[in-house]
C-alpha cells in the first residue's frame, strides 16, 4: 500500500552527511543488502541550482561507490529534517490525482499543515518546485500532485506516527473488489491478470485504466498507456514499452515474464483507481510529461536495475 518495487526513497542526515536509498534498489531488501549510499548534503543542494545531475559534480562521498543516489536526492537534502520518507501510498495517490481529491486530502490533514506541490518531473525540477513552494514554511507533510507523499521529522518514532496517521485519514475503501477473479482466456506471450474481472464490475474504472498515465512510476514501468487491443492486434506485437493491455473479450493481461516491479505497479494502479470516487475527475499526465520520463536515462537505469534486483 505504501511502496511498490523500487519506488519511493528514504534518507537520514548526520550533519552534512546524508544516507539515502540508492536508485533502483528495493526497500524490501534493506535487511539483506546495502541499499543506501552516503552523499554530501551541501553539494546535493547546490546541484539543484546547477540544473542537472553531472558526473563533474559528484555528490557521493565515495566516488568508487557503485550505487547512484536516488533521483530525488535534492529535495531530501534541502528539507531541514533528519529523516525524510517519500513513498507512493495507494490512498494518497487516489487523492492526489484530482483537484477534488487534493482538496479532500488537505482538509483531512489540516492540523498537520500539509504543503501541496504541483506536478513536476521527478528529480531536480521537482526539488526546485518544492523549494519554491515551501519558501520558509515549516511542515512535516508534503503532498505531491500525481506523485505521492513526503513525511519528515527528527524522530523516527514520529515518522512512523505520521505515516500511520496520514494513512488512516486518507484511507478510501475500494469502490470495487480489487481481488476479482482472473479472466479465463489467455493469449501467447500474455497472462491474465488478477484484476480482469473489474471490467464487469465497473465500466468507469475500465475507462480510467485505459485513459493514460496517472503517476510517474506507472509510465516508467507500465509504459505510456494500457491499450485496448483485439486478439489480432495483440499478435502483431505492440510497442515493447507496453507491459499491460486490455484484450477485447479477454480482460486485462500482463506480458508473460514481466518483472516483479511491473506487476506491483499494475496492482498499485488498479488499487488506486478502485479507490477514486466516481465524482472525482482524475488527471492524467500529458504526453510530454510521459515522454520525458520514459526517455530519461536516469529512469532507464532505475528500471534496468530494479529488473535485475526483482527477478
pLDDT at 180 over 50: no
Residue 14: pLDDT band (50, 70, 90) is very high
The pLDDT score that the predictor gives to residue 231 is: 81
Check residues 234 and 45 and name the one with the higher pLDDT: 45
Q: Which residues of 132-164 are buried (b: 16+ CB within 10 A; e: fewer)?
A: eebeeeebbbbbbbbbbbbbbbeeeebbeebbe
3-state secondary structure (DSSP) of residue 39: strand
Please provide the CATH number assigned to the domain covering 9-170: 3.40.225.10
Q: How far is the C-alpha of 193 from the C-alpha of 183, rounded, in Å?
A: 7
Q: Helix H segments across the chain?
A: 41-50, 73-78, 90-96, 99-108, 124-134, 156-170, 198-201, 203-209, 216-222, 231-235, 260-275, 287-294, 297-310
The pLDDT score that the predictor gives to residue 56 is: 46
pLDDT at 269 over 80: yes
3-state secondary structure (DSSP) of residue 84: strand
Residue 194: pLDDT band (50, 70, 90) is low
pLDDT at 185 over 70: no
Q: How far is the C-alpha of 201 from the C-alpha of 273, rounded, in Å?
A: 13
- For the chain, the structural domain boundaries read 9-170, 190-310
Least trusted range by pLDDT, from 79-88, 135-144, 160-169, 200-209: 200-209
Write out pLDDT tens, residues 118-165. Answer: 999 999 999 999 999 998 888 999 999 999 999 999 999 999 999 999
The per-residue pLDDT of the chain, averaged, comes to 87
The pLDDT score that the predictor gives to residue 4 is: 85
The pLDDT score that the predictor gives to residue 306 is: 58
Q: What percent of the chain has pLDDT above 70? A: 87
Q: How far is the C-alpha of 241 from the C-alpha of 184, rounded, in Å?
A: 25
Q: Which three cell numbers stand for residue 189?
A: 506471450
Q: How do 228-229 and 244-247 pair as beta strands?
A: parallel
pTM of this structure: 0.91
Residue 303: pLDDT band (50, 70, 90) is low
Query: Which of 82, 93, 78, 86 shows the shortest CA–CA distance to 47?
Result: 78
Q: What does 121-183 look like in DSSP terms, one character per residue? A: -TTHHHHHHHHHHHTT---SEEEETTTEEEEEES-HHHHHHHHHHHHHHH----SS-TTPPPP
β-bridge mates for residue 87, sequence order: 149
Amino acid at each position: 500500500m505504501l511502496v511498490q518495487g523500487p519506488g519511493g526513497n528514504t534518507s537520514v542526515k548526520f550533519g552534512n552527511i546524508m544516507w539515502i536509498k540508492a536508485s533502483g534498489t528495493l526497500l524490501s531488501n534493506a535487511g539483506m543488502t546495502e541499499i543506501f549510499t552516503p552523499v554530501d548534503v551541501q553539494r546535493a543542494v547546490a546541484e539543484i541550482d546547477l540544473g542537472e545531475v553531472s558526473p563533474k559534480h559528484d555528490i557521493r562521498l565515495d566516488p568508487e561507490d557503485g550505487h547512484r543516489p536516488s533521483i530525488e536526492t535534492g529535495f531530501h537534502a534541502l528539507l531541514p529534517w533528519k529523516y525524510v520518507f517519500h513513498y507512493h501510498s495507494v490512498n494518497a495517490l487516489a487523492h492526489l490525482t484530482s483537484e477534488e481529491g487534493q482538496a479532500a486530502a488537505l482538509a483531512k490533514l489540516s492540523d498537520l499543515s500539509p504543503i501541496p506541490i504541483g506536478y513536476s518531473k521527478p528529480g531536480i525540477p521537482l526539488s526546485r518546485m518544492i523549494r519554491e513552494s515551501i519558501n520558509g514554511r515549516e511542515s512535516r507533510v508534503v503532498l505531491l500532485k500525481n506523485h505521492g507523499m513526503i513525511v519528515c521529522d527528527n524522530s523516527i518514532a514520529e515518522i512512523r506516527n505520521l505515516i500511520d496517521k496520514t494513512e488512516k485519514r486518507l484511507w478510501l475503501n475500494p469502490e470495487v473488489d480489487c481481488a476479482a477473479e482472473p479472466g479465463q482466456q489467455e493469449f501467447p506471450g500474455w497472462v491474465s491478470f488478477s484484476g480482469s474481472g473489474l471490467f464487469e464490475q465497473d465500466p468507469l474504472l475500465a475507462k480510467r485504466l485505459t485513459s493514460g498515465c496517472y503517476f510517474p512510476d506507472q509510465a516508467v514501468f507500465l509504459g505510456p498507456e494500457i491499450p485496448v487491443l483485439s486478439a489480432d492486434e495483440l499478435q502483431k506485437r505492440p510497442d515493447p514499452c507496453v507491459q499491460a493491455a486490455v484484450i477485447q473479450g479477454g480482460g486485462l493481461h500482463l506480458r508473460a515474464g514481466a518483472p516483479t516491479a511491473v506487476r506491483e505497479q499494475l496492482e498499485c494502479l488498479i488499487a488506486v483507481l478502485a479507490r477514486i470516487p466516481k465524482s472525482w475527475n482524475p488527471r492524467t499526465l500529458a504526453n510530454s510529461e510521459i515522454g520525458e520520463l520514459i526517455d530519461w536515462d536516469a529512469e532507464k537505469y532505475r528500471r534496468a536495475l530494479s529488473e535485475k534486483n526483482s527477478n
